[in-house]
Structure 1
Amino acid sequence: MALDIISRSRVLSDWLADKALPLWRDKGVDHSGGFVETIDMAGEPTRANRRARVQPRQVYCFAEAGRRGWSGDWRGAAEGGLAYFDRIFKQPSGFYGALADADGILLDPSFDLYNQAFALLAFAYLGEVVPARKAEMIERSNDLRSRIEAHVKHPVAGFEEDNPSRLPLCSNPHMHLFEACLASETVEGFDRVGWANLADEIAHLAMDYFIDAESGVLREFFDHDWAPMAGEKGRIVEPGHLFEWAWLLLRWAERRGSAEAIVKARRLFDIGEAHGICANRNVAIMTLLDDLSVADPIARLWPQTEWLKAAVRFAALTNGAERERYLASAARAAAALQTFLATPVGGLWRDKQKADGTFVEEPAPASSFYHILCAIYETEDCLARI
């Protein structure tokens, strides 16, 4: 089974370098330097409205591709994308708005912690790969973190959704902020203590509140006391997020030596694998309820990448039969991902697979690239450790 995931990893790496990165550099960046929201199945960009989150996610993709040695114009894409993000989305408050149209007209200036988290991720990766801009990225990173802490700090731990607070509170933006912390604390010159402290706070928030102590599931929506939101909303469990949190907690646990985080991450993974994978289609589905019944059988692309990332990270940290089990799971996840990458134009992807196994006919969303690229590079890195 190790050979299976190794061969699939090579295919995915070649697809990324030879198909996806060139296509999204060529068709996915417009004349203004901004990243398009979607590319249609004929390989042409659309004029769909642009979510703020897509811009720093694509900055991350091209910065990381550059760091990994991709020979295309990664720097022009990354720096141009950040300039566009600043020009179109940055508000007088120092935060980033939420939505613009294809002409660069801001449609929704509202605050979303999720979008700020991705700005921080972009700062970390660009600061690492473009030395001439590191001092600027350090300053911007510290400034945005300080603004977030001043604007939406929760009295117990973590952050509100806005100020004044709106409900429900959500685990998802904390997950991406956690990811930004883990990236930022490793970049030379960044405020390692500040980022490490925030990473620790979010890790404990997840282990103490987001993850149910009895069932081991991780919930999405909470009231102001970090108790599960009343009604069905508070029962929602997303297999993709079980895998994604497991991957992040493993990374944090390895740095901090936390046995508790490894135990909780393993349980998240086991629940996701046992209950979040459709046996007929062999893909990770979108939504369960907290009794582990299926709430939404649609399979989106991104949970496949998170399944893969978690499985290969577990494989790198285990041995013997346990490692073989995780390698087998990683091979299944890679196979699931590859079904979404089978498109008429190489370098694109499908986003949604219906319960009958057919795909929704729609353009490829740029937002998925962050998930795909990270999973492919993580697989390379973890297999190199085995």
Structure 2
Amino acid sequence: MDIHSQARELAGWLADAALPLWRQKGFDAAGGGFVETIDMEGVPTRANRRSRVQPRQVYCFAEAGRRGWPGDWRTVAEGGLAYFDRVYRLPSGFYGALADADGALIDPSFDLYNQAFALLAFAYLAQVFPERSREMAGRSDDLRRKLEAHCKHPIAGFEEDDPSRLPLGSNPHMHLFEACLASETVEGFDRVAWANLADEIAQLAMDHFIDAETGALREFFDHDWAPFPGEKGRIVEPGHQFEWAWLLLRWAERRGCAEAIAKARRLFEIGEEHGICPKRDVAIMTLLDDFSVADPVARLWPQTEWLKAAIRFAALTEGKERGRYLASASRAVAALDRFLQTPIRGLWRDKQQADGAFVEEPAPASSFYHILCAIYELEDCLARM
């Protein structure tokens, strides 16, 4: 199957199976909010709900609505945000971490990662609900200013809520970078402020997150943005090589930054050369900084990031180089498709073990953000070629 046929298959799966299923079963109409998981029989579970899942699902349905999905996306997009605010929002204006299935907050702790997804949801809701765009712009500005006042790092980027809380991570900054790139394009938002923060995070990634010698992006750092001591500081995740490559490409295209394109190209190369299991042809979870395998488990989300980066590179190149990236994108779709083969169409597997067997467990709602974004990115980039 060529990449265009693969894209049509994925689009059909999303529109006809996944979005209807997660709209019907994945939103708790009685209590409000999105469920954490749906089991392989199609039954929502009563698992505790991570706060990040709420704005991620809001994004999914807002973006599906923006792109013309005819289902009832409005109810869940607005209802999901209302639940997120009601259950997780703290007097400080930040969002807590975890609630139970009845909507009681059981972990109010601060995590930069969760605030980043709140900002992403605000940006997408402003686009699909014009009557709320001023509100979303104000809330977006307010949360950004609170973050800058509460946990701005003295060099660049952000700490967590306590400067002594280590290690610092590249991953929360990656999602904050994504929220910046979304916010700087939304009418009525403070585009200059969001563009400046995007530029700061991009530079932080190029100067500190990405190793100057190997070109690999690390996960964990000390307070001076040096690699965290011990094995933790050596962790390199293939999925994040791809995801940062995709984000840096988007930023570089807007800013005309050749350095970022070169860094992104190397990240992709590392992910593809060292992070794909040769037997299973899937992106695995973890390497160390010498590119040896630390965790051979393959999760769903790195397959989507492989696809996003490959197809974005294909859109920005020509000739044989484009052909090579298209071939890589096609492999990524095939890898993703293995995770989508479930008893009920529209669900997914999350973890494939080293022997190729999938872990029997419910489908996590958090994966939908990755899948939907990858499918739409595939469509958009193919349309550019």
Same fold (TM over 0.5): yes
Structure 1 residue 188, shift from structure 2 partner: 0.7
In 2, Cα distance between the equivalents of 1:232 and 1:163?
23
What amino acid is aligned across from residue 28 of structure 1 in structure 2? G
Structure 1 residue 159, shift from structure 2 partner: 0.3
Name which of 19, 22, 31 aligns with 1:21.
19
Structure 1 residue 165, shift from structure 2 partner: 3.7
Aligned match of 2:268: 269
User: SS at 1:346's partner residue?
Assistant: coil
User: SS at 1:76's partner residue?
Assistant: helix
Mapped contact 2:41–2:343 kept (Cα < 8 A): yes
Return structure 1 stretches of 4+ with deviation > 6 angstroms.
Answer: none
Aligned match of 1:146: 145
User: SS at 2:2's partner residue?
Assistant: helix
In 2, Cα distance between the equivalents of 1:61 and 1:165?
35
Aligned match of 1:11: 9
Which structure 2 segments of 5+ residues have no match? none
What amino acid is aligned across from residue 296 of structure 1 in structure 2? D
Mapped contact 1:287–1:295 kept (Cα < 8 A): yes
In 2, Cα distance between the equivalents of 1:149 and 1:125?
22
Aligned match of 1:362: 361
1:249 equivalent to 2:248? Answer yes
1:129-208 equivalent positions in 2, closer than 5 A: 129-208=128-207
1:352 equivalent to 2:347? Answer no
1:193-342 equivalent positions in 2, closer than 5 A: 193-342=192-341
Encode CA deviations 1:150-206: one digit per residue, 9 max, x unaligned: 000000000002234400000000000000000000001100000000000000000
What amino acid is aligned across from residue 81 of structure 2 in structure 1? L
Mapped contact 2:31–2:102 kept (Cα < 8 A): no
Encode CA deviations 1:318-339: one digit per residue, 9 max, x unaligned: 0000000000000000000000
Aligned-residue Cα RMSD (Å) equals 0.6
User: SS at 2:180's partner residue?
Assistant: helix
Structure 1 residue 271, shift from structure 2 partner: 0.5
In 2, Cα distance between the equivalents of 1:303 and 1:165?
31
Aligned match of 1:83: 82
Mapped contact 1:35–1:81 kept (Cα < 8 A): yes
What amino acid is aligned across from residue 186 of structure 2 in structure 1? V
Mapped contact 1:151–1:163 kept (Cα < 8 A): no
What amino acid is aligned across from residue 155 of structure 1 in structure 2? P
Structure 1 residue 129, shift from structure 2 partner: 0.9
In 1, Cα distance between the equivalents of 2:162 and 2:148?
11
Aligned match of 2:381: 382
Structure 1 residue 247, shift from structure 2 partner: 0.0
In 2, Cα distance between the equivalents of 1:248 and 1:161?
22
Mapped contact 1:185–1:196 kept (Cα < 8 A): yes
In 2, Cα distance between the equivalents of 1:312 and 1:284?
16
What amino acid is aligned across from residue 316 of structure 2 in structure 1? L
In 1, Cα distance between the equivalents of 2:210 and 2:221?
11
Q: Count residues in correspondence.
A: 384
What amino acid is aligned across from residue 268 of structure 2 in structure 1? F
What amino acid is aligned across from residue 140 of structure 2 in structure 1? S
What amino acid is aligned across from residue 328 of structure 1 in structure 2? A
When structure 1 is superposed on structure 2, of 155-164 and 320-329 the one drifting more is 155-164
Mapped contact 1:239–1:286 kept (Cα < 8 A): yes
User: SS at 1:284's partner residue?
Assistant: coil
User: SS at 1:94's partner residue?
Assistant: coil
Aligned match of 1:65: 64
In 2, Cα distance between the equivalents of 1:239 and 1:161?
24
Structure 1-normalised TM-score?
0.99
Mapped contact 1:288–1:296 kept (Cα < 8 A): yes
Structure 1 residue 32, shift from structure 2 partner: 2.4
Aligned match of 2:117: 118
User: SS at 1:283's partner residue?
Assistant: coil
In 1, Cα distance between the equivalents of 2:160 and 2:235?
18
What amino acid is aligned across from residue 16 of structure 2 in structure 1? D
In 1, Cα distance between the equivalents of 2:255 and 2:181?
11
Structure 2-normalised TM-score?
0.99
In 1, Cα distance between the equivalents of 2:236 and 2:129?
38
What amino acid is aligned across from residue 21 of structure 2 in structure 1? L
In 1, Cα distance between the equivalents of 2:347 and 2:19?
10
In 1, Cα distance between the equivalents of 2:138 and 2:160?
24
In 2, Cα distance between the equivalents of 1:50 and 1:143?
25
Encode CA deviations 1:204-249: one digit per residue, 9 max, x unaligned: 0000000001100000000000000000000000000000000000
The share of aligned pairs that are identical, in percent, is 81
User: SS at 1:12's partner residue?
Assistant: helix
In 2, Cα distance between the equivalents of 1:219 and 1:340?
26
Aligned match of 1:95: 94
Encode CA deviations 1:276-308: one digit per residue, 9 max, x unaligned: 000100000000000000000000000000000
What amino acid is aligned across from residue 94 of structure 1 in structure 2? G
In 2, Cα distance between the equivalents of 1:229 and 1:165?
13
Mapped contact 1:124–1:184 kept (Cα < 8 A): yes
In 2, Cα distance between the equivalents of 1:69 and 1:335?
26
